[in-house]
Amino acid sequence: MIHSGATATLTHRVAAQDLASAFGNDTDEKYPDVMSTPAMLGLMERACAEIMRGELEDGQLSVGVTTQLTHSAPTPVDAQVSATASFRRREGNLFVFDVVVHDPKGQVGSGTHARAVVDRTVIEKRAASRR
């Protein structure tokens, strides 16, 4: 059982593939050479998933269900970022977390993320049925 306030922190060095400019290559849209919101969200999700690892039985995994986030400051390539997730509560099937993201200059993002425990085989079969 996860206790309220349980935390996990993951760190990541921002690479070229994490940049907003790596998205939208097929359009005329231009994006800056800063950490993208999808890359930040991925790090946030991984920090939450780390807290849940001990809750999972063989064949289970956790999946993201909802996210509310604010990306409040730009982070350049090669900067180290850290995402710290804190477990807040359980709402039925959902495990709800608060997450903050920092780079060396301070906070760059925050949000709330909810995850659910699912059977890997079941979710992969459901996905395959959508082909």
Active-site residue numbers? 37, 45, 71
Q: Where are the domains of the chain?
A: 7-128
Residue 59 marked as a ligand binder:
no
Rounded Cα distance, 123 and 121, in Å: 6
Rounded Cα distance, 96 and 114, in Å: 4
Which pLDDT value is given to residue 30? Answer: 85
Rounded Cα distance, 84 and 107, in Å: 11
Which pLDDT value is given to residue 1? Answer: 85
The CATH classification of domain 7-128, taken from the options 3.40.50.720, 1.10.3720.10, 3.10.129.10, 3.40.50.150:
3.10.129.10
Question: pLDDT tens string for the chain (131 positions)?
Answer: 899 999 999 999 999 999 999 986 666 778 999 999 999 999 999 999 999 999 899 999 999 999 999 999 999 999 999 999 999 999 999 999 999 999 999 999 999 999 999 999 999 999 999 99
Q: pTM here?
A: 0.93
Residue 5 marked as a ligand binder:
no
